[in-house]
Structure 1
Amino acid sequence: MKIKRFTGKAALHTEAAKLITQLLKDKPDCTLGFATGSTPIGIYEQLVGMYAKGRLSFARARSFNLDEYVGLTESHPQSYRYYMQHHLFRHTDFDQRNTYIPNGIAADLEAECRRYDSLLAEHPIDLQLLGIGHNGHIGFNEPGHSLTGETHLVTLKPETRAANARFFDSEDEVPRQAITMGMGSILKAKSILLVVTGADKAAVVNEALAGPITTACPASLLQTHANVTVLLDADAGKELPDAGF
């Protein structure tokens, strides 16, 4: 595991964008795994800027998103399809047919999970971008006695819904279920890029990266992956010991 620390968010976002850009140059037809939330926005802004300057192209690339809320249409402002369109896809040359996000309004949600897994098997992810939740969740893989390996339907924990309420008018509007890639699916990515900012994530960063590997902190399973790069700002990394990293 490679851990890089930055004094501020801007430098961190730039470094993440450079790593993604380099992959696109080395392998233009790569498959990228994307995340949503507030943390990746600065990275997507950097990528859009590089595209505008002619420094990269997504024309031959594919993308998979980690998750999607159940019950939100693609046009809903808080759906993750809408998020990706707003922050990245419509500003670049991505072929929309090659951008995959779970369908949260599928008539058969279990069948949708199986469909998504089939697509992932057909197009293995070269680089998976990740954030981390306050309770250690990755995607919407919530802490528990056990974890589901493949794409699945999940009931969101109250703390996860509370954390995401800032994106909605009220917590009552936050969906109670989501479709998410499982930890097994995520760990199949050839490389993983974990990006974390903010002092409010310092404790869980330490738990995930320096604590025991346990399903009580799904992010700790990243310790088992052979190719993980972690980018932290000073606040997010303040509780993580220097020794061994």
Structure 2
Amino acid sequence: MKAGNLEIKIFDTRQEMGENAAAAIADKIRELQKSQEFVNIIFASAPSQNEFLASLLTEKGIVWQKINAFHMDEYIGLPGDAPQAFGNFLKVKLFDKVPLNSVWYLDGNATDIEEECKRYAALLEEYPTDIVCLGIGENGHLAFNDPHVAFFDDPLIVKQVELDNACRQQQVNDGCFATFADVPERALTLTIPVLFKAKYAFCIVPGEKKADAIYHTVEEDIKEEFPSTILRNHPNAILFIDKASSGRLKEISSYSQA
């Protein structure tokens, strides 16, 4: 099925969803590695990515030594060894398990946050993104571009943002923090335009709590109030969802067939 340009793939379980997303992304990595020296990939950090990341590690034929890895957001002010830190999440789930050519971490504890934004922006310009692996927040955010700071024409590449309450509550819902008060109020995020510039976008979104977000992604007008709707304009984007997250897509037949 398609909604705009966005291809939609629905699976019975989140495990099937993760395995199929990993297979599709691995196919694209192998394809790109035939024609270019390095592949540059941005990864999302969230429990929604667990099955995909675990499955990606089992894929054969990926030359990990020819991949440069980035992540798309980071809390400001968490201890450097905090398991909730997104760099640490990906370090444990993927980055420490494969021999990547390079891994570039956002530093949420940088002395000068604005300089850190510029540093990471320069790296993203030096290594143009081939593949972005995304999630979608309960409030429709991409990375930490919550609706109040999700600008489709954002002039920045990386920026500091104040997280909205829905976003912070999601971190509790996901089991990442014990209480709302524990969730940092500020974060660094890659902006919508830099995520959108990736040649290929793969979006992995399981779970009942994401059903509203998936409904809005597919059904709402494309606007900043619902940041994930911009995916419908991407020329090469695939949305992987499970039965739980697709629960509000009642009239599946109403979408054009892929």
- TM > 0.5: yes
Structure-2 residue corresponding to 1:25: 30
Equivalent position amino acid for 1:139 in 2: A
Give percent identity, aligned residues only.
27
**What's the counterpart of residue 238 of structure 1?**
247
1:73 CA drift (Å): 4.0
Distance in 2 between residues matched to 1:199 and 1:105, nearest whole Å: 33
2:140 counterpart of 1:136: yes
Amino acid of the residue matched to residue 152 of structure 1? K
User: C-alpha distance in 1, partners of 2:216/2:208?
Assistant: 14
SS at the partner of 1:232?
strand
Are 1:69 and 2:80 counterparts? no
Structure 2 counterpart SS, 1:216: coil
1:12 matched residue in structure 2: 17
Look up the SS of the partner of 2:147 in the other structure: coil
Mapped partners of 2:207, 2:139: distance in 1: 14
Contact 2:150 2:192 in 1 (8 A): no
**Which residue in the other structure is 1:80 paired with?**
86
- Looking at structure 2, the residues matched to 194 and 235 of structure 1 have their Cα atoms a distance apart, in angstroms, of 15
1:88 is paired with a residue whose SS is helix
1:191 is aligned with what amino acid? Y
- List aligned pairs for 1:158-169, cutoff 5 A: 158-165=165-172, 166-169=175-178
TM-score in terms of structure 1 length: 0.92
> Deviation of residue 146 (structure 1)?
5.9
3-state DSSP of counterpart to 2:69? strand
Distance 1:81 1:15, change over 3 A: same
Match of 1:208?
217
Do the aligned residues in 1 keep the contact of 2:74 with 2:107 (CA within 8 Å)?
A: yes
1:48 matched residue in structure 2: 57
For residue 110 of structure 2, the aligned residue among 106, 111, 134 is 106
- SS of equivalent residue, structure 2 residue 188: strand
Equivalence for 2:3: none
Which runs of 5 or more structure 1 residues have no equivalent in the other structure? none
What code does the residue aligned with 1:153 have?
Answer: Q
Q: Which amino acid letter does the alignment assign opposite residue 35 of structure 1? A: A
Contact 2:30 2:61 in 1 (8 A): no
1:224, 1:130 → 2: CA distance? 15
SS at match of 1:128: strand
Task: Please give the per-residue CA displacement for 1:93-129, whole angstroms capped at 9, x wherever unaligned.
Answer: 123xx11221101111111111111111111111111
CA contact under 8 A between 1:145 and 1:216: conserved in structure 2?
A: no
Residue 130 of structure 2 is matched in structure 1 by: 126
Partner of 2:183: 174
Which residue of the partner structure matches residue 155 of structure 1?
A: 162
Cα distance in structure 2, aligned partners of 1:13 and 1:127: 16
Q: What is the distance in 1 between the residues matched to 2:87 and 2:210?
A: 26
Distance 1:82 1:142, change over 3 A: same
Pick aligned residue for 2:193 from 180, 184, 202: 184
The number of residue pairs the alignment matches comes to 240
CA distance in 2, matches of 1:45, 1:244: 31
SS in 1 for 2:129: coil
Q: Return closer, same or farther for 1:74/1:23 CA change in 2, 3 Å cut-off.
A: farther
| Residue of structure 2 equivalent to 1:225 | 234
Distance 1:90 1:145 in 2: 32
Amino acid at match of 2:255: G
Is 1:2 the counterpart of 2:13 in the alignment?
no
